[in-house]
């Protein structure tokens, strides 16, 4: 489903990703673990198409198509979703309005026509209920004044509504207490499907107790250093990243 | 998003082409010869069969105007206006004056149809969900049609062209005309007093809640013609009226001058809501053409506990010089100003309000949202003052500016003068840019850069849009999106 080949990325003169290769199959949950400052979030942003990153080499294929030349909204319409580490506030735009605009923009881009509003509202309310999100919050401006936990739940709610093919979760566990973490993880697990894949970026093993990955990749110094099964996460929890940071640390 | 550079280039070349009201109606017009002198003033007055007192009033204004200088304190820059190179009167030939709808030239009806303004009462009646709106349509210097007059008359509401009011209700016109904006007020208002052509007159009798929205649509059509309309609205004790004006003009290479005066009078416990959706032609990307909009709008809360509220959505005009104000004379009276001013291309906006607290326990509220894109300059200028006797006066002001791109400017110039120690004035102001973070977040969810910008801008102005009558809020929202097309970057 996602195939990253020899990806090199710089910000200005600074090289962040240096020949990263990674493959995630349909139905798979892949975890990327690694020390801070190793380029995990950069990878997420580059895949989603954020400005300010220069791809100097390599490609990223989503269902066989190189997406690196596409605008962020075009990637979204092809089914790429990023759950932000720091969700952004949009003052004055009611959450429901935003969700409707986003879903319909994607549907239009795919030539599907807009979703009927009552239908959409029903789906949003159902998703909100499942994630323990108070439906009153849907009337408030998106993320404005939301608590950390509310913001993260809202990211998962959006993911459920937009039903992406490929979802990237960037440090979704950061700032969550254990109860919120469980709710968020349940939300993700409920979306696991044969034709959908996840890339879960995390610093700690903790999240992976709740979202069980099929594969674990260790990232350091701008590339994937090692790939293994879920047991690799436990090993990292015990030994830390010192075997991987090496001379760069 | 390698499109950043591209977008910046597009902004530079934007020709505000989205202006879809730029067509010209080919209709024979009767015009006064170019230039301004006492004979022209008399000509206009004679055309309208005005009584002697009004002719003299105009001439007095004209003589006064000759001694005045154009104000230059606003942050706008434009070439000198040659006041002798303009026509001060133009009227569609086939319309000698206000007529019944059946007599209106079909070409004119088609014009208003193109503008999306219903002038046929039965069509409006056929609409199921929309509220009915009575419309006065002013084409160049004359009113061409006023709808629902009969129905309004049954409620005792007078809604007609001001030229008709001069004939039919001279006592009201004489009593209130110039009582809020005096003849000597300022250069443009004085000019208007001398040559004003047409406009709307509204009188709501005591205790009457006007049964429908009243609305005037102004259209400048003729070349080299100034438009000087005059609107006078009187809400008698305990009455209520909501009024909306809309404005458009053809796209022309030369500038068109618009110098209107609007006077509102609210007596005891009366309320006037005045909304404007101003969409005059803004000129092209190089700053060629566009309407020069020099407007004096003022409301007098003359009675106790009276209430005047101004809501404006300004997207058009090359130059905007406009400060809808409230004189809070009656004790316990209330003034409000809600404004969205969008500028793009080379537009220059200098707009704001004055809240003059004279009475006790008077309250005012100012919410201004300026959005600058392209190479435009957008200034909020406002005055809040409390008179010696204005004990307990309160004002809250909030001015937010949003910048789109890096070649535009937003400025806030608030003046506060308080001569009463018990007055409480609050002022908040912010200036922000649409952040990369917000744009990227929205785009990641599937919105294009333009859609994302429109959504963020709509969020920014929502507080004010909510103050507009429902039908017009939708129109205004679309207008804002159109005005900002191609402005992202």
**Over the stretch A67-116, which tens digit does the pLDDT of each residue have?**
999 999 999 999 999 999 999 999 999 999 999 999 999 999 999 988 89
Q: Does the beta carbon of A141 lie under 8 angstroms from any beta carbon of chain B? A: yes
pLDDT of residue B253: 63
Chain B residues with beta carbon closer than 8 angstroms to that of A98: 442, 445, 455
Chain B residues with beta carbon closer than 8 angstroms to that of A82: 444
Which value does ipTM take for this structure?
0.96
Q: Does the beta carbon of B455 lie under 8 angstroms from any beta carbon of chain A? A: yes
- If pLDDT is split at 50, 70 and 90, which confidence band does B258 have? confident
Partner-chain contact A72 B461, CB within 8 Å: no
Nearest-by-Cβ selection for A88 from B1, B437, B462: B437
Q: Does the beta carbon of B432 lie under 8 angstroms from any beta carbon of chain A? A: no
Q: Does the beta carbon of A91 lie under 8 angstroms from any beta carbon of chain B? A: yes
Residues of chain A with pLDDT below 70 are: 246-249
Q: B243, B49 in Cβ contact below 8 A? A: no
Backbone angles phi, psi at B121, to 5 degrees: -60, -40
**Of A224, A245, A158, whose CA–CA distance to A3 is shortest?**
A224
Chain A residues with beta carbon closer than 8 angstroms to that of B451: 73, 101, 105
| pTM score | 0.79
Nearest-by-Cβ selection for A93 from B4, B444, B458: B458
Question: Which has more pLDDT, B226 or A158?
Answer: A158
Partner-chain contact A90 B438, CB within 8 Å: yes
Domain that holds residue A156: 2-248
Q: CB pairs below 8 Å between A and B: how many?
A: 90
pLDDT of residue B115: 57
Inform me whether the pLDDT recorded for B111 exceeds 80.
Answer: no
| Distance, CA of B218 to chain centre | 10
Kindly report the nearest CA distance between residue A93 and chain B, in angstroms.
Answer: 5
- If pLDDT is split at 50, 70 and 90, which confidence band does B270 have? very high
Nearest-CA residue of chain A relative to B437? A88
Kindly report the nearest CA distance between residue B7 and chain A, in angstroms.
Answer: 13
Inform me whether the pLDDT recorded for B151 exceeds 90.
Answer: no
**Distance from C-alpha of B357 to C-alpha of A174, rounded to nearest angstrom:** 52
Kindly report the nearest CA distance between residue A71 and chain B, in angstroms.
Answer: 5
Nearest-CA residue of chain B relative to A80? B444
**Distance from C-alpha of B141 to C-alpha of B118, rounded to nearest angstrom:** 20
**Distance from C-alpha of B278 to C-alpha of B173, rounded to nearest angstrom:** 26
pLDDT of residue B76: 87
Write the CATH number for A56: 3.40.50.300
Partner-chain contact A93 B436, CB within 8 Å: no
Number of domains in chain A: 1
DSSP code at position B101 = G
Q: Quick one: CA torsion of B261, B267, B271, B277, rounded to 10 degrees?
A: 0
Kindly report the nearest CA distance between residue B129 and chain A, in angstroms.
Answer: 19
Chain A residues with beta carbon closer than 8 angstroms to that of B437: 88
Inform me whether the pLDDT recorded for B255 exceeds 90.
Answer: no
Average pLDDT for chain B: 83
Cα–Cα distance list, A236 to A33, A172, A200 (Å): 9, 19, 16
């Amino acid at each position: 489903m996602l195939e990253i080949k020899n990806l090199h990325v710089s910000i200005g003169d600074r090289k962040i990703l240096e020949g990263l290769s990674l493959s995630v199959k349909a139905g798979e949950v892949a975890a990327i673990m690694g020390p801070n400052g190793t380029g995990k979030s950069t990878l997420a942003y580059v895949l989603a198409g954020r400005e300010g990153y220069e791809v100097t080499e390599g490609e990223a294929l989503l269902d066989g198509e190189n997406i690196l030349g596409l605008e962020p909204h075009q990637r979204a319409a092809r089914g790429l979703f990023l759950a932000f580490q720091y969700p952004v506030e949009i003052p004055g735009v009611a959450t429901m309005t935003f969700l409707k605009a986003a879903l319909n923009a994607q549907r239009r881009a795919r030539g599907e026509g807009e979703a009927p509003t009552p239908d959409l509202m029903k789906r949003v309310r159902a998703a909100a209920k499942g994630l323990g999100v108070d439906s009153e919050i849907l009337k408030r401006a998106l993320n404005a004044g939301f608590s950390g936990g509310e913001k993260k739940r809202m990211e998962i709610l959006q993911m459920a509504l937009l039903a992406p093919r490929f979802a990237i979760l960037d440090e979704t566990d950061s700032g969550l207490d254990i109860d919120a973490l469980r709710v968020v993880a349940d939300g993700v697990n409920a979306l696991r499907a044969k034709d959908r894949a996840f890339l879960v970026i995390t610093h700690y093993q903790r999240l992976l107790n709740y979202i069980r990955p099929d594969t674990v990749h260790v990232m350091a110094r701008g590339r994937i250093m090692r790939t293994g099964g879920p047991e690799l996460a436990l090993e990292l929890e015990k030994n830390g990243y010192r075997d991987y940071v090496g001379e760069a640390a | 998003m390698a499109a950043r550079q591209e977008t910046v280039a597009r902004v530079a070349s934007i020709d505000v082409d989205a202006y879809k009201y730029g067509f010209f109606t080919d209709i024979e017009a009767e015009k006064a010869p170019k230039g301004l002198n006492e004979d022209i003033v008399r000509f206009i007055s004679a055309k309208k069969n005005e009584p002697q007192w009004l002719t003299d009033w105009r001439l007095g204004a004209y003589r006064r105007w000759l001694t005045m200088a154009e104000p230059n304190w606003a942050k706008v820059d434009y070439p000198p206006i040659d006041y002798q190179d303009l026509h001060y009167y133009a009227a569609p030939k086939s319309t000698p004056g206000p007529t019944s709808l059946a007599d209106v030239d079909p070409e004119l009806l088609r014009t208003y149809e193109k503008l999306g303004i219903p002038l046929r009462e039965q069509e409006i009646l056929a609409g199921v969900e929309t509220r009915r709106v009575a419309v006065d349509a002013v084409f160049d210097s004359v009113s061409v049609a006023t709808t629902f007059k009969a129905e309004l008359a049954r409620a005792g509401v007078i809604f007609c062209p001001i030229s008709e009011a001069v004939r039919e209700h001279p006592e009201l016109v004489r009593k209130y005309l110039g009582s809020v904006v005096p003849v000597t007020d300022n250069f443009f208002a004085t000019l208007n007093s001398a040559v004003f052509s047409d406009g709307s007159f509204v009188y709501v009798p005591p205790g009457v809640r006007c049964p429908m929205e009243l609305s005037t649509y102004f259209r400048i059509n003729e070349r080299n013609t100034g438009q000087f309309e005059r609107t006078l609205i009187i809400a008698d004790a305990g009455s209520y009226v909501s009024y909306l004006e809309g404005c458009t003009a053809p796209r022309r290479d030369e500038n068109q001058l618009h110098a209107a005066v609007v006077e509102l009078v609210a007596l005891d416990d009366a309320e006037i809501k005045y909304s404007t959706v101003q969409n005059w032609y803004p000129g092209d990307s190089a700053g060629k053409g566009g309407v020069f909009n020099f407007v004096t709008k003022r409301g007098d809360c003359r009675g106790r506990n009276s209430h005047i509220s101004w809501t404006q959505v300004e997207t058009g005009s090359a130059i905007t010089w406009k400060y809808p104000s409230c004189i809070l004379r009656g004790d316990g009276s209330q003034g409000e100003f809600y404004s969205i001013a969008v500028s793009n291309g080379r537009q220059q906006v200098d707009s704001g309000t004055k809240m003059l607290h004279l009475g006790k326990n008077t309250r005012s509220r100012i919410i201004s949202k300026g959005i600058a894109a392209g190479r435009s300059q957008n200034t909020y200028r406002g005055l809040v003052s409390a008179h010696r006797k204005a004990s307990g006066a309160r004002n809250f002001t909030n001015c937010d500016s949003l910048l789109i791109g890096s070649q535009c400017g937003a400025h806030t110039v608030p003046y506060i003068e308080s001569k009463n120690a018990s007055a409480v004035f609050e002022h908040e102001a912010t200036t922000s840019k649409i952040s990369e973070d917000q744009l990227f977040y929205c785009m990641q969810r599937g919105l294009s850069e333009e859609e994302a910008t429109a959504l963020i801008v709509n969020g920014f102005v929502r507080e004010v849009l909510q103050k507009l009558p429902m039908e017009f809020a939708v129109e205004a929202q679309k207008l804002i999106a159109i005005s900002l097309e191609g402005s992202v970057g």
